[in-house]
Amino acid sequence: MGMNILIVGGGGREHALAWKIAQSPLVDKIYAAPGNPGIARHAELVSIAVDDVAALRAFAIEKKVGLVVVGPEIPLVLGLSDALGASGIPVFGPDRAGAQLEGSKVFMKEMLSSCGIPTAAFKVFDEYDDAEQYVLTHRLPVVIKADGLAAGKGVAVAGTYEEALVFLRQVMVDRIFGESGDRVVIEECLPGEEASYIVFTDGEKVVPLPSSQDHKRIGDDDAGPNTGGMGAYSPAPVVTPEIDRRVMAEVFEPLLAGLRAAGIRYRGILYAGLMIDRGIPRVLEFNVRFGDPEAQPLFLRMKNDLVPLMLQCAQGNLTDATLEIDPRPAVCVVMASSGYPGAYAKGLAITGIEEAEAVADVHVFHAGTAMRDGGLVTSGGRVLGVTAIGDDLRVAIGNAYRAVDLIDWEGAYYRADIGKKALAGGGYR
């Protein structure tokens, strides 16, 4: 008799999780709250919002759920793991204290500083006037971050003082992110190339996933505002074996030791957003869950059963597991609604997914979709994650874009350069 698993969330990352979890022989039944039409292929959808901690806990108890897998950061920051743990339900995801690594930029930066982990120099402000004065004396470009959660949009890399002050005013005065803008972190802009480094941990041991690289900006060649992520590929050639070694020794080991010293036993996924310059990795941010869209190509490459790894993390007994990884690279191209990350229309009919999924080595993960009158329509800013694997990166990219070309809705938008940096840097290796 297999176990019941509850996946919390309803985006592209959660569809990839459901697809991967459904392959496990340990699983009897998968529930997803709230899920989406793509997730419905693998799970029974439950109409509970991700931030309704009490309802999620009650459902998990009622259905005798053996593992809760938390996709997004919001329920973790709200203490879902604490509530489930108090009821004896294993949960893959850190408690409220550990989730502050993502829930508070100030907590994260101060933890990095106290652990001696390389990161950008920074100052914290809770008064607009003081922050404004400091920005005007800081060399450009300058990075401004809202302290709290802002769906990946609470960061500006300002190339002019005017741009910096506009964003600072939006965050601290206009409060476009609500109380997430009570405090801001202002820091130097680090040069280099970004990479995502994601590990499983039970608070002591660490099992790393392959490297990947996200594309945060809305436009080709990294132009325009930040988004939740417009595409990703794995592996990232910028993460060499030497960088691998340094990240484990200089980032994850001291961080977990620092968390333990603070009384925090961190269980789940730890995601370090890195900036790598001349072979030196520095931490830009931590996330407390799988990346979206990085999870999509990573799960295509990962051959292991995901469920025992997540259970071991949840129970605090992670073994010296080694991940079996498909050597072929994978890429995810996000198809978004016109206007995203600003205002966008919803309810537009989507065509061509079946044809796209008929392309060899392609999986289409749903991120912002809904059913209406028996047809699939858009319901979010990021709508689909078209994900492909290939013998080399060029082939994987070609497979993904061949599938993208078959999908359509009014105003569908995507970047045309996902993975280009790896090719430009001497190709996949």
Decide: 400 and 388 in contact? Cβ < 8 Å.
Answer: yes
> What pLDDT shows up at residue 150?
84
Question: What values do phi and psi take at 164, rounded to 5?
Answer: -65, -45
Higher pLDDT, 320 or 167: 167
> What pLDDT shows up at residue 421?
85
Q: Is the pLDDT of residue 429 over 60?
A: no
Name the packing angle between helices 105-115 and 253-261 (round to 10°).
Answer: 100
342: its two tokens: 């600003």
Distance of alpha carbon 323 from alpha carbon 302, whole angstroms: 7
> What pLDDT shows up at residue 313?
97
**Surface-to-core class of residue 1, CB atoms within 10 Å of its CB (0-12 exposed, 13-18 middle, 19+ buried):** exposed
CA distances, 102 to each of 199, 248, 288, 298, 398 (Å):
15, 19, 6, 21, 34
| Radius of gyration from C-alpha coordinates of the chain | 21
Distance of alpha carbon 65 from alpha carbon 80, whole angstroms: 14
At 320, is the pLDDT very low, low, confident or very high (cuts 50, 70, 90)?
A: confident
Element (H, E) at 363: strand 362-366
Q: Is the pLDDT of residue 389 over 70?
A: yes
Q: What is the pTM of this model?
A: 0.94
| Mean pLDDT, residues 388-408 taken together | 97
| Mean pLDDT, residues 336-343 taken together | 95
pLDDT above 70 as % of the chain: 99
Q: Peptide bond preceding 141: is omega within 30 degrees of 0, i.e. cis?
A: yes
47-53 — which CB contacts under 8 Å span 24+ positions? 50/8, 50/9, 50/10, 50/74, 50/75, 51/75, 51/78, 53/78, 53/79, 53/80, 53/83
In the chain, the domains with their CATH numbers are 3-93 (3.40.50.20), 127-182 (3.30.1490.20), 193-315 (3.30.470.20), 330-424 (3.90.600.10)
Burial track 26-64 (b if 16+ CB lie within 10 A, e otherwise) = ebeebbbbbbbbbbeebbeebebebebbeebbebbeeee
55-76 residue pLDDT tens: 999 999 999 999 999 999 999 9
> What pLDDT shows up at residue 424?
75
Q: Is the pLDDT of residue 322 over 60?
A: yes
What is the full DSSP assignment across 183-228?
SEEEEEPPPSEEEEEEEEESSS-EEEPPPBEE--EEEGGGEEEE-S
Helix, strand or coil for residue 156?
Answer: strand
Q: Hey, which bits of 71-201 come out as E strands?
A: 91-92, 122-125, 142-146, 155-158, 184-188, 193-201
> What pLDDT shows up at residue 160?
95
Distance of alpha carbon 233 from alpha carbon 1, whole angstroms: 37
Residue whose structure tokens are 């590990």: 199
Q: Which of 2-16, 65-79, 210-224, 351-365 has the lowest mean pLDDT?
A: 210-224
Residue whose structure tokens are 């480094």: 197
| Mean pLDDT, residues 422-426 taken together | 70
Of 404, 368, 323, 364, which Cα lies nearest the Cα of 19?
Answer: 364
246-280 residue pLDDT tens: 999 999 999 999 999 999 999 999 999 999 999 99
Q: Which of 81-90, 269-278, 284-293, 315-324 has the lowest mean pLDDT?
A: 315-324
Helix, strand or coil for residue 129?
Answer: helix
427: its two tokens: 């190709």
Beta bridge partners of 270: 199
CA angle at 244 for the pair 243 and 248, rounded to the nearest 5°: 110
Beta bridge partners of 290: none
Average pLDDT along the chain:
95
> What pLDDT shows up at residue 347?
97
Distance of alpha carbon 366 from alpha carbon 16, whole angstroms: 9
147-200 residue pLDDT tens: 998 877 789 999 999 999 999 999 999 999 999 999 999 999 999 998 999 999
Distance of alpha carbon 380 from alpha carbon 227, whole angstroms: 13
Q: Is the pLDDT of residue 353 over 80?
A: yes
CA distances, 78 to each of 100, 195, 198, 272 (Å):
10, 28, 22, 21
> What pLDDT shows up at residue 425?
61
> What pLDDT shows up at residue 426?
43
